[in-house]
Amino acid sequence: MSIGPKQALYAEFASVARALGSQHRLEILEHLAQGERGVEALAERVGLTIANASQHLQQLRRAGLVASRRDGKFVLYRLADEAVLGLMAALSDVAQRNLAEVDRIRRHYFDDRDSMEPVSREELLARTRDGLVTVLDVRPPDEFAVGHLPGAVNIPLSELESRLAELDPDHEIVAYCRGPWCVLSFEAVAALRARGFRVRRLEDGLPEWRAAGLPVENA
Protein backbone atom coordinates (compact mmCIF):
# COMPACT_ATOMS: atom_id res chain seq x y z
CA MET A 1 0.00 0.00 0.00
CA SER A 2 2.96 2.32 0.47
CA ILE A 3 3.87 2.71 -3.16
CA GLY A 4 4.23 6.29 -4.43
CA PRO A 5 6.54 8.96 -3.06
CA LYS A 6 3.68 10.75 -1.36
CA GLN A 7 2.87 7.68 0.66
CA ALA A 8 6.53 7.28 1.55
CA LEU A 9 6.71 10.89 2.73
CA TYR A 10 3.52 10.62 4.73
CA ALA A 11 4.89 7.48 6.36
CA GLU A 12 7.87 9.55 7.48
CA PHE A 13 5.71 12.41 8.70
CA ALA A 14 3.59 9.91 10.58
CA SER A 15 6.66 8.57 12.33
CA VAL A 16 7.41 12.07 13.60
CA ALA A 17 3.83 12.45 14.80
CA ARG A 18 3.96 9.08 16.58
CA ALA A 19 7.08 10.24 18.39
CA LEU A 20 5.07 13.20 19.69
CA GLY A 21 2.23 10.89 20.62
CA SER A 22 3.27 10.23 24.18
CA GLN A 23 2.66 12.30 27.27
CA HIS A 24 6.09 11.45 28.59
CA ARG A 25 7.92 12.36 25.42
CA LEU A 26 6.14 15.70 25.22
CA GLU A 27 7.21 16.43 28.76
CA ILE A 28 10.78 15.44 27.91
CA LEU A 29 10.67 17.88 25.02
CA GLU A 30 9.44 20.65 27.30
CA HIS A 31 12.46 20.08 29.52
CA LEU A 32 14.87 19.92 26.60
CA ALA A 33 13.47 23.22 25.39
CA GLN A 34 15.09 24.77 28.47
CA GLY A 35 18.50 23.61 27.31
CA GLU A 36 20.71 20.53 27.13
CA ARG A 37 20.11 17.78 29.67
CA GLY A 38 21.45 14.35 30.51
CA VAL A 39 19.38 11.20 30.61
CA GLU A 40 19.28 10.87 34.36
CA ALA A 41 18.15 14.44 35.00
CA LEU A 42 15.37 14.03 32.45
CA ALA A 43 14.30 10.67 33.80
CA GLU A 44 14.02 12.04 37.29
CA ARG A 45 12.06 15.13 36.34
CA VAL A 46 9.62 13.28 34.13
CA GLY A 47 9.23 10.40 36.54
CA LEU A 48 10.61 7.58 34.41
CA THR A 49 13.24 4.96 35.03
CA ILE A 50 16.53 5.74 33.37
CA ALA A 51 16.31 2.86 30.93
CA ASN A 52 12.82 3.88 29.93
CA ALA A 53 13.75 7.53 29.51
CA SER A 54 16.68 6.47 27.38
CA GLN A 55 14.39 4.53 25.10
CA HIS A 56 12.01 7.45 24.77
CA LEU A 57 14.93 9.70 23.93
CA GLN A 58 16.01 7.38 21.21
CA GLN A 59 12.57 7.37 19.71
CA LEU A 60 12.70 11.14 19.71
CA ARG A 61 16.09 11.03 18.08
CA ARG A 62 15.00 8.60 15.37
CA ALA A 63 12.12 10.96 14.63
CA GLY A 64 14.49 13.88 14.25
CA LEU A 65 13.05 15.75 17.22
CA VAL A 66 16.13 15.69 19.42
CA ALA A 67 19.88 15.48 18.89
CA SER A 68 22.57 14.36 21.30
CA ARG A 69 26.25 14.66 21.97
CA ARG A 70 28.54 12.89 24.34
CA ASP A 71 30.33 14.91 27.02
CA GLY A 72 32.66 12.63 28.94
CA LYS A 73 30.54 9.91 30.36
CA PHE A 74 27.31 11.83 29.98
CA VAL A 75 25.14 11.97 26.92
CA LEU A 76 23.48 15.35 26.56
CA TYR A 77 20.27 15.68 24.61
CA ARG A 78 18.82 18.83 23.09
CA LEU A 79 16.04 19.80 20.72
CA ALA A 80 17.10 19.11 17.15
CA ASP A 81 15.77 22.39 15.87
CA GLU A 82 13.91 25.58 16.66
CA ALA A 83 11.17 24.19 14.45
CA VAL A 84 10.41 21.52 17.05
CA LEU A 85 9.14 24.19 19.41
CA GLY A 86 6.92 25.49 16.62
CA LEU A 87 5.56 22.02 16.02
CA MET A 88 4.69 21.63 19.69
CA ALA A 89 3.02 25.03 19.66
CA ALA A 90 0.96 24.05 16.61
CA LEU A 91 -0.02 20.81 18.33
CA SER A 92 -1.20 22.50 21.49
CA ASP A 93 -2.95 25.15 19.45
CA VAL A 94 -5.08 22.57 17.64
CA ALA A 95 -5.74 20.68 20.85
CA GLN A 96 -6.82 23.84 22.62
CA ARG A 97 -9.14 24.89 19.86
CA ASN A 98 -10.85 21.59 19.34
CA LEU A 99 -10.70 19.42 22.42
CA ALA A 100 -13.21 20.26 25.10
CA GLU A 101 -11.19 18.40 27.70
CA VAL A 102 -8.26 20.77 27.20
CA ASP A 103 -10.49 23.73 27.78
CA ARG A 104 -11.90 22.11 30.87
CA ILE A 105 -8.43 21.52 32.36
CA ARG A 106 -7.36 25.03 31.52
CA ARG A 107 -10.33 26.63 33.15
CA HIS A 108 -10.30 24.35 36.15
CA TYR A 109 -6.65 24.67 36.95
CA PHE A 110 -4.92 27.49 35.13
CA ASP A 111 -7.58 30.19 34.99
CA ASP A 112 -8.29 29.47 38.61
CA ARG A 113 -4.81 30.62 39.55
CA ASP A 114 -4.38 33.41 37.06
CA SER A 115 -7.20 34.55 34.89
CA MET A 116 -5.38 37.76 33.97
CA GLU A 117 -3.92 38.33 30.54
CA PRO A 118 -0.23 37.43 30.60
CA VAL A 119 2.37 40.11 29.95
CA SER A 120 3.57 39.97 26.36
CA ARG A 121 7.27 39.76 25.61
CA GLU A 122 7.17 43.19 23.99
CA GLU A 123 5.47 44.74 26.97
CA LEU A 124 7.98 43.22 29.37
CA LEU A 125 10.88 44.51 27.28
CA ALA A 126 9.43 48.02 27.40
CA ARG A 127 8.76 47.91 31.13
CA THR A 128 12.19 46.56 32.07
CA ARG A 129 13.73 49.64 30.45
CA ASP A 130 11.92 51.73 33.05
CA GLY A 131 13.43 49.54 35.78
CA LEU A 132 10.25 49.27 37.81
CA VAL A 133 9.63 45.61 37.27
CA THR A 134 11.17 42.52 38.87
CA VAL A 135 11.54 39.59 36.48
CA LEU A 136 11.12 36.40 38.49
CA ASP A 137 12.28 33.00 37.26
CA VAL A 138 10.64 30.29 39.36
CA ARG A 139 12.37 27.30 37.77
CA PRO A 140 14.93 25.17 39.60
CA PRO A 141 18.41 26.74 39.77
CA ASP A 142 20.01 24.31 37.34
CA GLU A 143 17.59 25.33 34.61
CA PHE A 144 18.10 28.98 35.47
CA ALA A 145 21.84 28.44 35.14
CA VAL A 146 21.55 27.13 31.58
CA GLY A 147 19.77 30.30 30.48
CA HIS A 148 17.33 32.93 31.74
CA LEU A 149 15.89 36.35 31.01
CA PRO A 150 18.31 39.24 31.37
CA GLY A 151 18.29 40.53 34.91
CA ALA A 152 15.92 37.86 36.18
CA VAL A 153 15.89 36.85 39.83
CA ASN A 154 15.81 33.10 40.46
CA ILE A 155 13.62 31.92 43.30
CA PRO A 156 12.39 28.40 42.66
CA LEU A 157 8.73 27.93 43.47
CA SER A 158 9.63 25.53 46.29
CA GLU A 159 11.54 28.28 48.11
CA LEU A 160 9.23 31.15 47.34
CA GLU A 161 7.45 31.29 50.70
CA SER A 162 10.71 31.46 52.62
CA ARG A 163 12.37 34.04 50.40
CA LEU A 164 9.67 36.67 50.08
CA ALA A 165 11.99 39.21 51.66
CA GLU A 166 14.07 39.25 48.51
CA LEU A 167 11.19 40.72 46.54
CA ASP A 168 10.64 44.46 46.50
CA PRO A 169 6.94 45.04 47.26
CA ASP A 170 7.02 48.32 45.32
CA HIS A 171 7.99 46.68 42.05
CA GLU A 172 5.53 44.89 39.90
CA ILE A 173 6.66 41.29 39.44
CA VAL A 174 6.57 39.36 36.17
CA ALA A 175 6.97 35.63 36.73
CA TYR A 176 7.83 33.00 34.16
CA CYS A 177 8.93 29.38 33.93
CA ARG A 178 9.28 26.67 31.27
CA GLY A 179 6.50 27.44 28.89
CA PRO A 180 2.79 27.86 28.42
CA TRP A 181 1.91 24.64 30.28
CA CYS A 182 4.38 24.83 33.07
CA VAL A 183 2.52 25.17 36.35
CA LEU A 184 5.30 26.84 38.31
CA SER A 185 4.55 30.42 37.29
CA PHE A 186 0.82 29.92 37.86
CA GLU A 187 1.46 28.68 41.38
CA ALA A 188 3.88 31.54 41.97
CA VAL A 189 1.35 34.13 40.83
CA ALA A 190 -1.35 32.70 43.07
CA ALA A 191 1.00 32.57 46.08
CA LEU A 192 2.36 36.10 45.59
CA ARG A 193 -1.04 37.67 44.97
CA ALA A 194 -2.23 36.16 48.24
CA ARG A 195 0.69 37.99 49.91
CA GLY A 196 -0.31 41.28 48.37
CA PHE A 197 2.26 41.50 45.62
CA ARG A 198 1.37 42.91 42.23
CA VAL A 199 2.35 40.06 39.98
CA ARG A 200 1.55 38.84 36.49
CA ARG A 201 2.81 36.04 34.32
CA LEU A 202 4.91 36.39 31.22
CA GLU A 203 3.33 34.81 28.18
CA ASP A 204 4.81 31.35 27.49
CA GLY A 205 8.24 30.72 28.99
CA LEU A 206 11.95 30.88 28.41
CA PRO A 207 12.09 28.74 25.24
CA GLU A 208 9.57 30.93 23.47
CA TRP A 209 11.43 34.05 24.59
CA ARG A 210 14.60 32.65 23.12
CA ALA A 211 12.81 31.52 19.95
CA ALA A 212 11.56 35.07 19.48
CA GLY A 213 15.20 36.10 19.14
CA LEU A 214 15.27 37.96 22.44
CA PRO A 215 18.40 38.03 24.58
CA VAL A 216 19.11 35.24 27.05
CA GLU A 217 21.64 35.41 29.88
CA ASN A 218 23.47 32.35 31.09
CA ALA A 219 25.84 33.64 33.70
Figure out which of the listed residues 59, 92, 128, 154 binds DNA, where binding follows CB under 7 A.
59
| Sign, Cα dihedral of 179, 182, 183, 187 | negative
Interface with DNA, residue 10, by CB under 7 A: no
Residue 111 binds: one of its own copies, DNA, none (C-beta under 5 to 8 A by kind): none
Q: Which is nearer to its own copies, 137 or 153 (CB)?
A: 137
CA angle at 166 for the pair 162 and 170, rounded to the nearest 5°: 120
Q: Counting Cβ atoms within 10 Å, is residue 155 exposed (0-12), middle (13-18) or buried (19+)? A: buried
DSSP E strand stretches across 80-187: 133-137, 153-154, 172-177
Q: Is 182 a catalytic residue?
A: no
Which of 28, 29, 39, 199 lies at the binding interface for DNA (CB under 7 A)?
39
Q: Which of residues 158-177 bind its own copies (CB under 8 A)?
A: none
Query: CA-CA distance, 75 to 36, in Å (whole number)?
Result: 10
Q: Which residues bind its own copies (CB under 8 A)?
A: 1-2, 4-18, 20-23, 25-27, 30, 47, 63-65, 80-81, 83-84, 86-95, 97-99, 101-102, 105-106, 108-110, 181-183
